[in-house]
Chains A and B, each alone.
Chain A
Amino acid sequence: MIRDEDIVRVEAPRISAADRLYLTQIAQGMKVTLNHLFFKPRMTVQYPEQKREMNTQNYRGVHRLNRDPDGRVACVACFMCQTACPAHCIHIVADESPWEDREKYPQLFDIDELRCIYCGMCEEACPVDAIELTYEYDVVGRSRDEMIFDKEKLLEVYDSTKDVKPRKNPKITGYQRTGDRGKYDQLRDRLREMTQQSNPISAPHQTVDGERAPAPENKENA
């Protein structure tokens, strides 16, 4: 309930007699529009000829599949992106990898660019930064089928955009087969040691009274 004394009523200013004829006010308005008619710069971007400046590094446009330094597809067919995709537009068929350093690779990798909502979840989910969104936004196709990008097309997109937007983590390479104590496993062990020692705040399994809760079983090690 608003108290009466809290109400401040504002009265419209009294308009002068000349302004009540409207003509003086209209003349003022016409002066403003005349100024815009002839003397103001145009704001329009003439699209196909001119393009707006954009941040090429974080724009969420068409996808690409990155290549590792050897030129092979970097994806390891882990299905993380397909699982994360809210639009269900990624379809992967995995196969045994022909190469020594990884178990799987995508035999088919299709993204339906018409169904995609360009949310970037796939990029977030990928453990090896193999899938990325690029700054390309003007893709066209004559049919729906043409807009389903397959693996070759996605790799082509990488080839055409890598100069402007290089792969985020080119270091992620040399994947090891599980069981080999390669660089990857050493790194993982060191990380685990770091979290369990010293810093109590980041130690995730500590309870209130200082007792250490049993760490959950690590499936990878089992």
Chain B
Amino acid sequence: MVRLITHNLLACHAKGCTSNNFPLQLKDVQVELRDAEYNADFLRGFISRIEWPALVDAARQLGDTSLPNEPPEMMDDDFLQKLHHVLLEIHIEEGAMICPNCAHVYPISNGIPNMLLAEHEIG
């Protein structure tokens, strides 16, 4: 699956590509929305690990503009519900992720991202 939780963790790992290799750019994506179990404790703990601007950008590319530019000081339930939806309920089923640095293409098929490299691309 590529939900935005995973997209926020992935980076390009092609040979020699070590800077400006995050976030991967979404291209020609098809998304599906599916309910996921809401867990506020997870979200409160996880938020400090998020690269926030990358998450906000990716969500906006997928048509979700609910997140603020900066994470709020007060994490009320309304905000956490929005964060939950963005991180865990938007599934990228098809498409690709492209490295902003080296333009390497990582295809997504049937919800699974292909992060394998060809032999000559391995660092």
- Answer whether A and B are interacting partners: no
Q: Which residues of B contact A (CB under 8 A)?
A: none
Q: Which residues of A contact B (CB under 8 A)?
A: none
